[in-house]
Amino acid sequence: MKNHNPADEEILIGKPPFFKRWAGMYWLVLGNLAFLIILFYIITKLYE
């Protein structure tokens, strides 16, 4: 298998919606996870 340059791959695949790069989409998903974990922790502590 050939190694591909991530920048070339971005051009080949195309831009995601809302963000200039795919990394923005990935951070959105991971940020959402972090937000949910913090929210769930607050809920747990608030109602225990």
Partner 1 sequence: MRPLDWVVLLGTLGFIVTYGVWKTRGSKDIEGYLKGDNSMKWWTIGLSIMATQASAITFLSTPGQAYEDGMRFVQFYFGLPIAMVIISITVIPIFYRLKVYTAYEFLENRFDLKTRSLAAFLFLVQRGLAAGITIYAPAIILSTMLGWSLTITNLLIGVLVIIYTMSGGTKAVSVTQKQQMAVMMGGMIIAGFMVVSYLPDNVGFGDAVAVAGKMGKMNVVDFSWDWETSWDDRYNFWSGITGGLFLALSYFGTDQSQVARYLGGKSIAESRLGLLFNGLLKIPMQFLILFIGVMVFVFYQFNQPPVFFNEAAKSKVYATAYADELRGLETKYSSIFEQKQEAVQGLVTALKTEDEAAINAAATQVSSYTEAGKEVRDQVKGVIQKAVPGSETRDTDYVFISFVMKYLPVGLVGLLLAVIFSAAMSSTASELNALASTTVIDIYKRSVKQDGSPVHYLKASKLFTVAWGGIAIIFATYASLLDNLIQAVNIIGSIFYGTILGIFLVAFYFKRIKGNAVFFAAILAEAVVLYCYYFTDIAFLWFNVIGCAAVVLFGFILEGLIGKKKKELVA
Whole-angstrom distance, CA of residue 17 vs CA of residue 20: 8
Nearest to 19 by CA among 11, 8, 28, 31: 28
Residue 36 interacts with partner 1 (CB under 8 A): yes or no: yes
Instruction: State in angstroms the smallest separation of the CB of 31 from partner 1.
Output: 10
* Residue 15, number of CB atoms within 10 A of its CB: 13
Residue 43 interacts with partner 1 (CB under 8 A): yes or no: yes
Instruction: State in angstroms the smallest separation of the CB of 35 from partner 1.
Output: 10
Instruction: State in angstroms the smallest separation of the CB of 37 from partner 1.
Output: 6
